Amino acid sequence: MNEFLLIDQIVAALGEVASGACVRIGPGDDAAVSITPPGMELVSSIDALVADVHFPAEAGPALIGYRAIMVSASDLAAMGAAGGFILVALNLPEGNPDWAAELARGMAEAAAELGLSVVGGNIAAGPLAITVSVHGFAPAGQALTRAGARIGDDVFVTGRLGGAAAAVARGDLASCQLPGDLDLLSRHYFHPRARIREGVQLLGLASSAIDLSDGLLQDLSHIGERSGVGFDLESPSIPVETGATLAQALSGGDDYELCFTMATAPPSLDVAVHRVGQVVSKPGIRLDGKPVTPSGYQHFAS
């Protein structure tokens, strides 16, 4: 199995998601060619998932692939971007075609659910890592950012938090091979749902937004820094997932839910929304009136 045959297998496994409305040239040339719809801006992000840092290498490849797309696309959701396309760079320790095709099938499933196309990629020999570059479209000038939170706005989160962190703490994620193996907590880890649809619904309504990848406190602190504000949170209103702890919901990471600020009540979304606190002028974050230090996942933490 050489590099080019392996690429053929992966492209075959992608199936229909290798094409799409915005795609003029998909996999197979030096680069892909896409069309940005009139009146739209391109929203772009890149994420790397390293084996045994961001996912257990022994888990099922379809689960790993699904998770890689959802985790990366979550950044599009945070900006209110949708549609668009994905490039994937796979560093593989060996050219195992079955493993790679299963990974691609998991990616294709996630991309299809989100309405994204997978238009190209790269394969290299190396320690197992998956890097995903995601690109979506937002109406010109309207993308959500971390910078617009205003004093008096309420703070909201989608879904329930801490489930993925609880699954990590349980220590059995490497045994998950197929979607049928997932329970409530491991589903949070392997099958998060990037909130693309919800992000779009918040355009023009939310004053700021971020996706929850490193834990609510740490991610909220980024909104605080960029918006020049602070937050008062109330612990009874934090939507802690069943089986998770409040600490996991606050600082566990890997939630891939949206956190956003708004002056009014949020619209009805496909997922439950919870008000968790308020934007205030005093910098930093208080929980039930007491200052908390944002802690969450950091690479190279000293």
**126 binding a copy of itself? (CB under 8 A):** yes
Distance CA 221, CA 233 (A): 12
Selected binder of a copy of itself within 17, 34, 173, 261 (CB under 8 A): 34
Q: Which stretch binds a copy of itself (CB under 8 A): 184-192, 206-214, 227-235, 260-268?
A: 206-214
Do 85 and 116 meet the contact criterion of CB atoms below 8 Å apart? yes
Closer residue to a copy of itself (CB): 37 or 291: 37
Q: What DSSP state is assigned to residue 13? A: H
Contact 167, 185 (CB under 8 A): yes
From the list 85, 61, 70, the residue with the least C-alpha distance to 13 is: 61
Minimum distance from residue 290 beta carbon to a copy of itself (Å): 24
290 Cβ contact partners less than 8 Å away, ≥ 6 residues apart: none
Does position 121 interact with a copy of itself (CB under 8 A)? The reply is yes
Euclidean distance between CA atoms 266 and 192, whole angstroms:
22
- In the list 13, 138, 164, 196, the residue contacting a copy of itself (rule: CB under 8 A) is 138
Which of 41, 113, 154, 234 is close enough to bind a copy of itself by CB under 8 A?
41
Binders of a copy of itself in range 14-33 (CB under 8 A): 24-25, 28-33
b/e map of 226-236 (b: 16 or more CB within 10 Å)? ebebbbbbeee
Kindly state the smallest distance separating residue 286's Cβ from a copy of itself, in Å. 21
Q: Give which of 76, 87, 105, 300 is closest to 194, Cα–Cα.
A: 76
Residues in 160-199 that interact with a copy of itself by CB under 8 A: none
- Asked if 228 and 284 count as a contact pair (C-beta separation under 8 A), the reply is no
* CB of 273 closer than 8 Å to CB of 266: yes
Residue number, 147 or 272, with CB nearest to a copy of itself: 147
- The site string for a copy of itself over 211-230 (x = CB under 8 A, - otherwise) reads x--------------x----
CB of 212 to a copy of itself, least distance (A): 11
Q: Given candidates 8, 12, 21, 36, which one binds a copy of itself under the rule CB under 8 A?
A: 36
What residues numbered 240-279 form the site for a copy of itself, per CB under 8 A? none
